[in-house]
Amino acid sequence: QYGDYDPNFHEPGFLAHDELLPKRVLRQYQLTAEMWEEKITAWYAEHRGIARDEAEMNYLKIAQDLEMYGVNYFPIAQNKNHTDLLLGVDAKGIHIYSINNRFSPNKSFEWSSIRNISYSEKELTIKPLDKKAEVFKFFSSQLKVNKLIFQLCIGNHDLFMRRRKVDSIEIQQMKAQAREEKARKKMENQRLAREKQLREEAERAKEELERRLFQLEDEARQANEALLRSQEAAELLAEKAQIAEEEAKLLAQNAAEAEQERQRLEITALKSKEEKRLMEQKMREAELIAVKLVKESDRRAKEAEHLKQDLHEAREAERKAKQKLLDITRINYPHMAKYPQYSPGDSRDVNFDKGSIKLDLKDIDLKRLSFEIERERLDYLEKSRKFEDRLKELKSEIQALKLEEKQAGLYS
């Protein structure tokens, strides 16, 4: 009725308006309508590729074994006043049932054991083949009911007699042709089912390839983004290393100048005890400043070396990321394998429209690096300015001492 099961078309509730099972069967089980539909849909999905006529034949083969299959029931009575029995007519014969039990007959007359059936008005008579057996008479409510019972008996008895006869040559030929046609249809249905299955498998394979392609494109996109982040981090590290190296050189130069100034102060301090005391004090101050500058210079030098090492590692990670991206491109995009490889120092970008690869790269906070570089640069400028101011003060004091010494020599 609905064709092969298709989950996209046969959505839940498509059997809600169909009477699937008798109410007596539904009352025997504690299942809701939705649960029955779920079970029937699962069985429906298991029988794909079955033709409509084949499905109907399978249904009839199962249904013919049921107790009430093919039975027509009529209310009858053994006298004219009461209706207390049921008469059933089917392909096997005539059966008498109680009014409350339609499964197990109280008495049965097979077609092979019936000699004659007749009716008169509302009375119907069944004469067994055995003349010694009792003749069964019963009454129906209307004359037309007796006519219907009589016609059903004639039709079923005629079919019963036909089944016992050998088929004629024409009938045998027709049955053979029907079997051949059935076999041909079955083969055709099997061929169509195979073609449908192949189409479905091809569609599933296509969907899987599209999903895999989308995944590869996404991985390539992520790899490209990771490569760009690695390049930006390497550039920031290079800039920071350069600034640290310049600061270390400037600190070393300032330390050398401070040492020279300390030596000049030592020579000047020898001229007099008072001058020596003052000069020793100045020398100690200059010496402390010089020591601080030397330590700061060493620290800056080490920091510059560390930044150079970080820059080297970042460039190495960048080179590995580029190489891994090219390897993936060769595997998944063979037509792009003709493009040349990039060297570790190459600054050209490798861009894809879609996709990426997940790489385990160290994600460097670019804003934090920029902030640290700017903060250290300002700190260095502030310290340099203070040191230069201190040196100017020392020079001014030394010049004042020299001037006082000259004036003292003139007045002596």
DSSP per-residue codes, 191-202: HHHHHHHHHHHH
In this predicted structure, the answer to whether residue 339 has a pLDDT above a threshold of 70 is no
74 vs 402 pLDDT, higher one: 74
pLDDT for 105-155, tens place per residue? 888 888 888 888 888 888 888 888 888 888 888 888 788 888 898 888 989
**pLDDT of amino acid 354:** 39
3-state secondary structure (DSSP) of residue 125: strand
In a domain, 200, yes or no: no
Nearest C-alpha neighbor of 232 from the set 365, 376, 371: 365
Q: What's the chain's average pLDDT?
A: 77
Task: Find tokens 């013919």 and name the residue.
Answer: 64
Averaged pLDDT for residues 151-169: 84
Asked if residue 300 belongs to a domain, the reply is yes
- Same domain membership, residue 130 and residue 4: no
Question: CA-to-CA distance for 288 and 93, rounded, in angstroms?
Answer: 128
Q: What is the mean pLDDT of residues 173-186?
A: 87
Domain encompassing residue 314: 226-411
Does residue 117 share a domain with residue 47?
no
Paired tokens of 55: 């499905």
Last residue of some domain: 34, 65, 96? 65
pLDDT at 188 over 70: yes
Query: Is 262 within the bounds of a domain?
Result: yes
Question: Within this chain, do residues 37 and 125 fall inside the same structural domain, yes or no?
Answer: no
Same-domain check for residues 265 and 355: yes
Q: What's the total number of domains in the chain?
A: 3
Mean pLDDT over residues 226-238, rounded? 88
Q: What are 120's strand-pairing partners?
A: 123
CA distances from 131 to 107, 112, 116, 123, 157 (A): 18, 14, 11, 20, 20
- Contact between 282 and 394 (Cβ < 8 Å): yes
Do residues 364 and 349 make contact, with C-beta atoms less than 8 angstroms apart?
Answer: no
User: Is residue 24 located within the same domain as residue 105?
Assistant: no
d(CA 99, CA 85): 5
326 domain-assigned: yes
What pLDDT shows up at residue 133?
81
The Cα–Cα gap between 181 and 134 comes to 49
Average pLDDT of the residues in 49-59: 79
Given 164, 179, 199, the domain boundary residue is: 164
State how far the Cα of 165 lies from the Cα of 178, in Å rounded to an integer. Answer: 20
Could you tell me the two tokens for 350? 């490798």
Q: What is the pTM of this model?
A: 0.40
In this structure, the answer to whether residues 243 and 356 fall within a common structural domain is yes
* Residue 8 included in any domain: yes
Does some domain include residue 207?
no
Residue 18 lies in a domain: yes
Q: Which is nearest to 259 in space by CA: 282, 278, 280, 286?
A: 286
Task: Flag whether pLDDT at 359 surpasses 60.
Answer: no
Q: By C-alpha distance, which of 320, 312, 342, 348 is closest to 233?
A: 312
pLDDT greater at residue 294 or residue 163: 163
Residues 286 and 271 in one domain: yes
213 domain-assigned? no
* CA–CA distance, 225 with 357 (Å, rounded to integer): 9
First to last CA, the chain: 136
362 and 289 share one domain: yes
State yes or no: pLDDT of 271 exceeds 50: yes
Q: Are residues 26 and 79 in the same domain?
A: no
Question: Which amino acid, residue 215?
Answer: Q
| Residue 252 CB partners (closer than 8 Å, separation 6+) | 297, 301
- Asked whether residue 336 carries a pLDDT value surpassing 60, the answer given is no
- Please tell me the predicted confidence (pLDDT) of residue 404: 75
pLDDT > 70: what percent of the chain? Answer: 81
Closest C-alpha among 359, 342, 368, 339 to residue 232: 368
Which ranges of 270-339 would DSSP assign to H, the alpha helix? 273-332
Residue 353 in this model has a pLDDT that exceeds 70: no
State the CATH number of the domain containing residue 103: 2.30.29.30
Q: Judge if 232 and 296 occupy the same domain.
A: yes
Q: Are residues 61 and 76 in the same domain?
A: no
Same domain flag for 239 and 376: yes
Q: How much is the pLDDT for 172? A: 80
Q: Residue 411: pLDDT band by 50, 70, 90 thresholds?
A: low
Tell which wins on pLDDT, 352 or 73.
Answer: 73
Whether pLDDT at 183 is above 80? yes
